[in-house]
Each structure stands twice: as structure tokens, then as C-alpha cells.
Amino acid sequence: MQPRLNFFKAAPEAYKAVLTLENFVQSCGLERRFIHLIKLRASIINGCAFCVDMHVKEARHDGLSEQWINLMSVWWESPVYDDKERALLTWVDAVTKIAETGIPDSAYAPLHQHFSEQELVNITVAIGAINIWNRLAVGFRSQHPVDQPAKAA
């Protein structure tokens, strides 16, 4: 797969606008683990290797467990996620797949039990932001860096 174009360079003002939204997400008061959960889960759904690579590394750097990170793609099968995380994962799935789901009440009700109205809006904006990044990265085939393989001892 070859990159199509560098969207940072092709449209710097558009990039700045998305970055402004990203800066809001990072400073809106959501717990870091929830931001990681949103970014990683949406990127998995959208098939964005660039973003999955980035967000796995960021989650690991912030101390989230390998198991928590690795089971994100099959979260509904694992007890590693607490009720609040499960409600959030349900919402991320529903909002990211909006054309399929229509975002049903069954996705909203559990989320509303765990988060304030302001948090609900901030969470949904965060989901929208990562979906924009995913569409840019997948659409223009951004390539993630390839890590150097570890050498056996």
C-alpha cells in the first residue's frame, strides 16, 4: 500500500482545524483511559493501522495493561473492562457505526448512567474527532512507522 498524499502538507488549514478539535478533546477533562479507549476502539472499527499503532503505543505509555489494550477488538467477550468502560465501548461502537446502528437507546442508557451530560457531549466529540483522523489516515493511506524488531538475547 502506497500513501496517496500527505494531508498535513496538502491542506494545512484543514489540518489545523482538526488539530484544534483534538486539542479540545485532550483538555476537556475526560480521563486518559477513556480517551485511549475511544481512540483505539474507533480506530480498530475503522481499520486504521496508523491510528491503531499510535494509540496502542500511547495507551501502553500511559500504563494501561497489555491485556486491556489487546482485548479491545473483542471487548464484549472479556471481563477485563469495567461497567463504565463497557458502556463507553458500546457508545463508541454505536456512534462510529452510526449508519448501521442509528445509535439506539440501548447504547445511550448505560452511558447516561455513568457519565454527566457534559461528559456525554465531550465523549461524543472525542469519537467524532478520532473518526475524522481515521478517515484522513485511511483515505490518504498514511503509513505507520515500522518498529525495529527486538533482537533475541
How confident is the prediction for the chain on average, in pLDDT?
A: 94
- The closest of 103, 105, 89 to 39, measured between CA atoms, is 89
More confident residue, 141 or 28: 28
- Measured CA to CA, the distance from residue 123 to residue 30 in angstroms comes to 8
- Tell which phi-psi region holds residue 63, choosing left (phi > 0), alpha (psi between -120 and 50) or beta: left
More confident residue, 153 or 62: 62
Query: Would you place residue 153 in the very low, low, confident or very high pLDDT band (cuts 50, 70, 90)?
Result: low
What integer is the mean pLDDT of 81-96?
A: 98
- The closest of 118, 108, 150, 136 to 51, measured between CA atoms, is 136
What integer is the mean pLDDT of 81-85?
A: 98
pLDDT (0 to 100) of residue 148 = 84
What integer is the mean pLDDT of 59-75?
A: 97
More confident residue, 144 or 34: 34
**Locus of grid cell 475526560:** 30
pLDDT > 80? residue 121: yes
**Locus of grid cell 467477550:** 77
Please give the helix or strand (H or E) that residue 91 lies within, else none. helix 83-96
What integer is the mean pLDDT of 14-41?
A: 97
- Measured CA to CA, the distance from residue 102 to residue 128 in angstroms comes to 15
Please report, as a single letter, which amino acid is at residue 39: K
Length of the chain: 153
**Locus of grid cell 481515521:** 134
- What is the value of pTM for the model shown? 0.92
Counting residues of the chain whose pLDDT is more than 70, the rounded percentage is: 99
